[in-house]
Each structure stands twice: as C-alpha cells, then as structure tokens.
Amino acid sequence: MQTQAIVLEAPERLVLSRLDLEPPGEADAVVDIEYSGISTGTEKLLWNGRMPSFPGMGYPLVPGYESVGRVVEAGSASGLKAGERVFVPGAKCYGPVRGLFGGAASRIVSAGSRLTPVSEALGEKSVLLALAATAYHAVADAGKRTPIVPPDLIVGHGVLGRLLARMVVVAGFPPPTVWEINPARQQGAEGYAVVMPQDDPRRDYRAIYDVSGDSQILDQLVMRLAPGGEIVLAGFYTEPLNFMFAPAFMREAQIRCAAEWKRPDLLAVKELAESGRLSLDGLITHHDVPAHADTAYRTAFGDAGCLKMILDWRTH
C-alpha cells in the first residue's frame, strides 16, 4: 500500500513523494486524508531548520499534525469502523521516512486510539482542533487552580490567539485585550478588542498569555503586570528567554510554560465546536492542492494575511 505525502528532504526543500506505507495491524485504521493544515509554528521551524532537537527529529520527514480524513479500513481492535470521519494528529507509518508529525499525506495508517471521530458538520474546520486544544490546555491548566485567573491580555492575533480569546468570551469571562503589531492581522475580532501595544495604557494585567513566540518580549510584559500577576508562555520559542530580575521581583511575577495539549483537551474543544459554542469560522483563509505544496507552504509561512492554509487531498 502506498501514499502521496509531503516530504521535507532538508530545510526549505519540500517535495510531493510516493511512499510505501507500513501494513496495518488489528489495532490500526487506514485513513484517506481529506484536508491537512499547515502549522505556522512548529512546521515553520521544521521548514527553516530551526526546530530544536528532540526525539524523532531529523530529515527526511513527513510534517503535519492537523489532518482530517475518512476511515477506509479498520482493524478489529481499532475501535473504529469504515466510513467514520476522524481527526488525525499525525502518523508514523512511512518506514525509513520519519513521521514528524506525519499527517500531510493522502493516506495514513495509525493506531485507532490516536484517531478521534468528528462531526461531518465541521468539515474542513476539523483541522483547527489541534490549535483549539492547544489554546484550551493553556487555559484549562490555569483553571484547575483557585482562584481561576483567565487571560485579560493575549499577545498575538493569529489563529491561536483568536481561539484563546474566543474561549475566554465563550466561558463568560470579561473580554480580553489582544495585542497585534501587524496591521494585516488586526481585523477579525469577535467580542474583544485588538490594539497596538503602544496604544494600550494598562499596567495592571493579572494574566498575560503570550502566543507571539517572541523570545525578546518578557521585559515588556513584566512591566504590564499587576502585583502577583502571571505570564503564560503559550507560544513556541527557539531562542533563549531572559528578563530583568528587578521589575519581576517588585511585582512578584509568575511565569508559566503551557505544555502540549492532551487528549482530554482535544475532546473538550471537539464538544465545544460541535455544539456551536466555540466558533471556528473565519480562521481558514487559504486553500491549495498537494501538487502546489511548495508554494502553499511558502505562502503559509510568508504571508501575514494567511491565518491558516489547508491542503485539499480529496483528489489524491
């Protein structure tokens, strides 16, 4: 069994290749991918060669962890059945080609336990569930503590920042302020305000969530905290982070790293999206086909007006 897959052969060298798939077992399912999203965070780091080293890292590799498709074959112990639409967080089924994260292919083989059935009504917007789960995990982790302190400032108005702001509003908390310095991304707010940092006079934020990925931003954020306030690092950073100690000391600032989402986070946002409480509208801005993958990836990483690019695999 074979598949067409996006393969990063080396930094900034991408091809569409035909690969052999590992045979499925009784606990596996074979899925024909319909749509896959391009991540402007982790996948961009894989693309430009700046991804920090960790287990599974290396080239050649198949990227992608935001895919949705339909089960065409289900093993007896997979827990799935043929015909179900599922969210695919990636796959490792390409033999010597690494699956990091492995979802950008026309067909994949995966353990059924990693796949999540999703509503037909979500359609292509199902690819956004991974980012929604990332946002949810950052907030839900804080929500386990007492008292709950939702973000009142979010830094960055990309897809992750928008989802985070929407979740705050859906939960009934006061609408957060969102900072965005790129004019191309200042539109599209739903129930909250987007401003430039220099136009925001506040210096008493209780919880600042940074999704910008800017490793030089900590000092600026510390100066905006109320005493005892918290900064949540919810982006992904490739450079060392540092800050001046005295201002943080004076405010008794707390700094927390938001970890990778877990399956309960995915199930929670799936329920929110399928019930209509969390809108995923307006976040997918660009579409292309796998044959144009190189152009599509360059657009996703280089065009500030591109919030989310998805590849349509249905013809493959």
Cβ 99 vs Cβ 60: under 8 Å? no
Cβ 90 vs Cβ 116: under 8 Å? no
Tokens of 75: 């093993």
Check pLDDT > 90 for residue 309: yes
Cβ 209 vs Cβ 153: under 8 Å? yes
Do domains 2-117+285-312 and 130-257 share one topology? The answer is no
Q: Name which of 16-30, 51-65, 148-162, 166-180 the model is least confident about.
A: 51-65
Topology annotation, domain 2-117+285-312: Quinone Oxidoreductase; Chain A, domain 1 (3.90.180)
Contacts 24+ apart (CB under 8 A), 196-202: 200/224, 202/153, 202/177
For the domain spanning 130-257, the CATH number is 3.40.50.720
Cβ 147 vs Cβ 230: under 8 Å? no
Average pLDDT, the chain: 94
Residue type, 298: R
Name the percent of the chain lying above pLDDT 70: 97
Check pLDDT > 80 for residue 148: no
| DSSP result, 51-111 | PPP-TT--SSEE--S-EEEEEEEE-TTSS--TT-EEEE-----STTSEESS---BSEEEEE
Confidence of residue 142 (pLDDT cuts 50, 70, 90): low
Domain ranges of the chain: 2-117+285-312, 130-257
Of 308, 313, 315, 311, the closest CA to residue 129 belongs to: 308
Three-class SS state of 153: strand
Say how far apart CA 84 and CA 73 lie, in whole Å: 10
Distances 288 to 16, 18, 71, 185 between C-alpha atoms, Å: 14, 19, 23, 21
Q: At what angle do helices 263-274 and 129-143 cross, to 10 degrees?
A: 110
Note the residue count of the chain: 316
Beta bridge partners of 254: 230
Q: Is the peptide bond before 147 cis (omega within 30 degrees of 0)?
A: yes
Confidence of residue 21 (pLDDT cuts 50, 70, 90): very high
**Model-level pTM greater than 0.85?**
yes
Check pLDDT > 80 for residue 100: no
pLDDT at 51: 84
State mean pLDDT over 41-63. 86
Three-class SS state of 200: coil
Match 């430039």 to its residue by tokens.
Answer: 196
pLDDT at 8: 95
Distances 211 to 155, 159, 165, 233, 264 between C-alpha atoms, Å: 6, 10, 11, 7, 21
